[in-house]
Amino acid sequence: METTNVKNVFLLGASLEVLHQESLEWLDIVEFWKDEVVFFKKLLGKKQPSDEDREMYANLVSTLGDISMELLNELEEDIRQHERLLAKLMKEDKGVSDGEYRESHQRLKNRIEKINSSLKAFKKQLFSFVKSL
């Protein structure tokens, strides 16, 4: 049985203005994530791990590599492109439909949720690593 996220259903039925506001929030979130990634890289580079912590350290570096600036820059550009699509939709340009925009919005939302989940897991690992130092 498939469960439905009530907030997602609500947002996809929401006005374009509400979806626009959510997109702007995403841009702020991505900027914050970029700052976090820079901070985490500096933090991990400050101290070499002991022999017993090398495996955890390597895992952290690998996970952080998966959440790269390139990935975040690409996501940011996709959100900006999504906003340009909204502008065309608001101008009622031909070839742009409300349904396409909402589907695009949901795909972006899914990507953001996936990255957010990865970052949360990374932070938990990082906190455990720092505690062990």
Going from N- to C-terminal start, the domains of the chain cover 17-132
Given a cut of 90, whether residue 107 has pLDDT beyond it is yes
Whole-prediction pTM: 0.82
Task: Evaluate if residue 92 carries a pLDDT over 80.
Answer: yes
Is the pLDDT at 68 greater than 60, yes or no?
yes
- Can you give the pLDDT at residue 5? 52
DSSP label at residue 52:
G
Instruction: Give yes or no for a contact between 38 and 117, defined as CB atoms under 8 angstroms apart.
Output: no
Report the pLDDT value the prediction gives residue 13, as an integer from 0 to 100.
65
Q: 11 pLDDT band (50/70/90 cuts)?
A: very low
Across the chain, mean pLDDT equals 87
Q: Is the pLDDT of residue 115 over 60?
A: yes
Please write the tens of the pLDDT for every residue from 30-57: 999 999 999 999 988 887 888 888 899 9
Cβ count near 40 (within 10 Å) = 19
- Structure tokens belonging to residue 118: 């990865």
